Chain A
Amino acid sequence: MATDAQVFPASEPARWTYLDKIRTRPGPFTNRDLFEGKNVAENMEKMKVLVIGAGGLGCEILKNLSMSGFKDIHVIDMDTIDLSNLNRQFLFRHADVGKSKAEVAANFVMKRVKGVKITPHNCMIQDFDEDFYMQFQFVVCGLDSIEARRWINATLVNMVDEEIEDSYKPLIDGGTEGFKGQARVILPTVTSCIECQLDMHAPRAAVPLCTLASIPRQPEHCIEWAHVIAWENEKPFPKLDNDDPAHINWLYQKALLRAMEFNISGVTYSLTQGVVKNIIPAIAATNSVIAAACCNEALKIASNCAPCLGFPDNNYMMYSGNDSIYTYTFKHEKKDDCPVCGNLARELAVDPAWTLQELIDSFAARPEAQLKKPSVRAEGRTLYMQFPPSLEQQTRPNLEKKLTDLGLEQGQEIGVTDPAFATVSFKFKLKFTKKT
């Protein structure tokens, strides 16, 4: 173990002295077959890396990557800065409220850290094609939306071409909620992917409509009633804008009156906003932990100076700070029936007495599917298509038919697509829960 091994300094040796000692010299755990200290600093300076999200995690990720010797960073975020971001998104100031997150964050870091170039993209990830994503060495994701994560995951997995080594783009993903969070590394087609892990993030069970409509018991039921039923009936504004205080106020007031009617206590403005916008508590400290865990993996992937998550075993770190500190770092197994990275169809338990409509509605709630606008095909036949309108109209009558009447059988494979995942067709194998 050569701790006296030579340091190969970066372009500014004095500045990066701490980093160079680690990234250009092998340690006791370094895989010597992969590691070559001599080129590390130079290679990292040339690497082009992509950050998705310039919010709570994104701000930290941009800071961490530029303090880790990366010099060519792109960042995508379509959001603008809100007052409620300032308790953690430390690259933004009060005067920045309303401006583009990607642009303000990029400018701030470039001003602070000499020699780093950050290219902001004030748009959606779906606005770019594979050619765009192909130019990066890896992607670090700090998002709050599961949809966007699934989209980039599917895109990166799809880009893999076994013939081309450069087509494997590691995806490093972080997420937080309150004092908890997770960091994971996805090596497309090699490790389990975000779609394989989807059931770890099950959607919250929806309150039945009849509870909202006739037997509310909780303040949340009153708020959901105002949100789902009262708003639709009264349409006080043309379109609900969750960020408009006047709209939230209207819902709050409706919910409060309903709560009074049923003697339910606990409806507040803050709770109304929380329920309607599905607000997840977020603090600087947890973002700091999770973003740094992600960027620590980025440094290891880029330099091989220490083994990274995903290779060979553990690929997932769970973190919880509620009760003491607890981390669980483990290997999440790849699923052969993963619709994105596997090649087997996934079993889908369905009641044969269901109509096609019932099947389609069930996709949104299933933890392993979570598809909101599914179109369904079977054996080359289109059973239902959401788009284009002409095809939708043509296939609409099928919605009322029973699955068995549509000729679907036990064990049959169906293909499901969703506009949120343009490139992916989810393969399912029907498993009837009752005899036909």
Chain B
Amino acid sequence: MTEIVMSQTPPILHGPSEKERKYDRQLRLWAASGQAALESANILLVNSGAGTVGVETLKNLVLPGIGRSAIYDDETVTEADLGVNFFLEESSLGKSRSQNLTELLLELNPEVQGSWYPNEDIKSLESLLSSPSVFTVILYTNPIKPEYLSLLESYSQKHKTPLVAIHSAGFYSYFQINLPGAFPIVDTHPDETATTDLRLLAPWPELVGFAKDLTRDIDNLSDFEHGHLPYVVILLHYLEKWKADHGGSCPSTYKEKTEFRSIVQKAARTDNAEGGEENFDEAAAAVLKTLVVPSLPSGLKEVFEYEHAEPAEQKSGFWLIADAVKKFYEKHQSLPLPGKVPDMKAQSKVYIQLQNIYKAKARQDAAEILETVQATPGGEDIDPAEVDLFCKNAAFVKLINATGGKIKRADRLKEVAAQEAVSDEMAEMTLQPLSLLPIYLALQPTAHVSSGDKISADGILEGVAKLVPGAEENERVVQAAHEVARAEGGELHNVAALVGGMVAQELIKIVTKQYIPIDNTCVFDGINSRTQVLRL
């Protein structure tokens, strides 16, 4: 038989294109769809201060091929720039910083378009922001002029553009992502091991029939067949027996499950050459993980319970599909089947049959949801592929920034400061690392202090007192204020590069709508080499 197949016409081979080869290592992370999203993104950096962290961010976006990048920067290049910013050179001295940065960044990838401002045509940030080109994301670095910040904030509100603030001073840094509304992600890339959903407690007729056929005469199967029963089939078989002995109910408590596990383990044949059966080992190992009554995952629950801030939002593909999935869940008390079967010891043919049974059920569930979507006004044109993706990932869908701007930022900061203070008091007992909020607090008062101007630790603490009264007394805040004062607004290249890497990762996640971005502030402590994400 092998001969016959081998003599068929070989498939047409097309190796990867030059571009696919160049981007190979990243396409393995976000695929062609992510790459396309990246290539249609248009990003603006409003650069100020020592000016490195934003540029390091752009480097990490130009390399993977972001569509367009623009830099707005008023400064001219100084000696100090050359000591911290790698994308400037001797000949840049005294010239426009935005132009020189742009030119040296664009060298990294000829496929990226870039522009710099102010230039002869567009002389101010205001006129840049009123030009017809719409930005996908805007980054700015502190210290920023207050009037620039208000221009950016109103642009961000008007165009619903994510706005990212970055501050890097000495060993300390933070960045904060302001998303224009609730930000749902479907393609969250959960760990493979987390995604197994076999529905063993609620199998559908095709699966039940398949398992029955294979185990009807289980004791008389040859050693080979017995040793190659897929563990899914083994578990279904012994679950049936268990149910017969337990009034129709499945093992539910931990004790029952371990009892069930030893029943499965003991059913393995040991009088064979190997002295055991791998497939039964796999089955026993899967008992605790797979015999779980499904509950609604927290991410999806948040989606189901979300109240739309504005009616327009409701009409997007994501929300239409989410509504249909919710209806499906209410009707069936289960989510659409993802349809993936993990690898397990089995004969090829049997495994493929099993795989097809799961795939068919997944397709059926997705078709039901698609039908609901299409029956909803506005849902006629939804791409079935979008529905499929949602169904495959339903358990891992995530909503970022769900509470949006419902609480005023100033109040939230006080609230979080109180929480962090409490958890710091317990830190010795809980063995949790100490809060990095003091770093964020100490950087805040310098958000608009230009790099040349010194600000003392006392000056910083006065600023902290205005944000969170009482925090200026906290010893760790005092230390952080001194550390910030030591930098005098200057950047360390390493810290800028490190945070530039993190911000770039986050922007890639936001632009590709893959993986899960932070919600919403990340603080980095370069003295202890660690981060903390806070919702501020």
Contact = CB atoms under 8 A, between A and B. Distances in A.
Interface of A: 1, 3, 12, 14-19, 21-22, 25, 27-29, 60, 63-64, 67-68, 83-84, 86-88, 90, 93-94, 112-114, 178-179, 183, 211, 215-218, 245, 248-249, 252-253, 256-257, 260-264, 269-270, 273-274, 279-293, 295-297, 299, 306-307, 309, 314, 317, 321-329
Contacts of B376: none
Given A15-B82, A217-B351, A263-B352, A279 B24 contact: yes
B219 interface: no
A284 B482 contact: no
Contact of A64 (B2, B5, B493): B493
Contacts of A248: 15
B277 to A, nearest CB: 14
A47 B349 CA distance: 64
A251 B14 CA distance: 13
Nearest to A23: B492
B498 A293 contact: yes
Given A67-B84, A252-B13, A281-B29, A217 B348 contact: yes
B28 interface: yes
Contacts of A22: 170-171, 486-487, 490, 492
A284 B501 CA distance: 8
B86 A67 contact: yes
B11 A325 contact: no
Which 3 A-B pairs give the minimum distances between C-beta atoms? Answer: A18-B490, A288-B501, A292-B498
B16 A270 contact: yes
Interface in B172-225: 188-190
B121 to A, nearest CB: 30
B486 A269 contact: no
A22 B495 CA distance: 12
Given A67-B84, A217-B346, A327-B531, 6 more contacts: A22-B486, A63-B497, A84-B21, A87-B64, A321-B509, A321-B515
A215 B348 contact: yes
B68 interface: no
B26 A112 contact: no
A284 B23 CA distance: 11
A262 B83 contact: no
Nearest to A185: B529
A87 B25 contact: yes
Contacts of B228: 215
Contacts of A94: 110
Contacts of B498: 288-289, 292-293, 296
Given A283-B29, A289-B501, A296-B498, A309 B529 contact: yes
Given A60-B497, A288-B497, A17 B83 contact: yes
28 contacts: A1-B457, A14-B80, A15-B80, A17-B80, A22-B490, A63-B86, A67-B86, A90-B108, A217-B343, A217-B348, A253-B10, A256-B11, A257-B5, A260-B5, A262-B349, A262-B352, A264-B352, A269-B15, A270-B27, A270-B28, A281-B26, A284-B504, A285-B60, A288-B59, A288-B500, A309-B529, A314-B528, A317-B529
Nearest to A218: B343
Nearest to B64: A87
B6 A257 contact: yes
Contacts of A283: 25-26, 29, 60, 64, 505, 508
Contacts of B519: 324
B70 interface: no
B529 A284 contact: no
A292 B343 contact: no
B517 A324 contact: yes
Contacts, number: 277
Interface residues of B, number: 98
Interface string B478-516: 010011011110111111111011101110110000011
B22 interface: yes
A321 to B, nearest CB: 4
Interface string B29-71: 1000000000000000000001000001001110111000000
B533 interface: yes
B487 A84 contact: no
A287 B348 contact: no
Given A296-B492, A329-B530, A16 B83 contact: yes
A18 B81 CA distance: 9
A19 B169 CA distance: 11
A249 B26 CA distance: 21
Contacts of B492: 18-19, 22, 68, 296, 299
B76 interface: no
A282 B228 CA distance: 38
A261 B79 contact: no
Given A257-B10, A321-B502, A83 B515 contact: no
Nearest to B522: A325
A249 B15 CA distance: 8
Interface string B138-176: 000000000000000000000000000000001100000
A290 B505 CA distance: 12
B347 interface: yes
A208 to B, nearest CB: 9
B281 interface: no
A6 to B, nearest CB: 12
Contacts of A257: 5-6, 8, 10-11
B330 interface: no
Contacts of A19: 83-84, 490, 492-493
Contacts of A262: 348-349, 352
Interface in B343-365: 343-349, 351-352
Nearest to B175: A325
A225 to B, nearest CB: 11
Listed residue (B483, B519, B522) with the most chain A CB atoms within 10 angstroms of its CB? B483
Nearest to A270: B16
Contacts of B456: 3
A322 B189 contact: yes
A174 to B, nearest CB: 11
B18 interface: yes
Contacts of B457: 1, 3
A211 B344 CA distance: 10
Listed residue (A68, A179, A260, A321) with the most chain B CB atoms within 10 angstroms of its CB? A321
Given A18-B50, A84-B22, A322-B516, A3 B485 contact: yes
A83 B18 contact: yes
B126 interface: no
A90 B82 CA distance: 18
A207 B139 CA distance: 46
A64 B528 contact: no
A179 B485 contact: no
Contacts of B509: 321
B527 interface: yes
Contact of B482 (A27, A245, A323, A327): A27
A18 B83 CA distance: 8
A200 B351 CA distance: 32
Nearest to B90: A114
Contacts of B63: 86-88, 90, 284
A17 B528 contact: no
Interface string B104-135: 00011110000000000000000000000000
B25 A296 contact: no
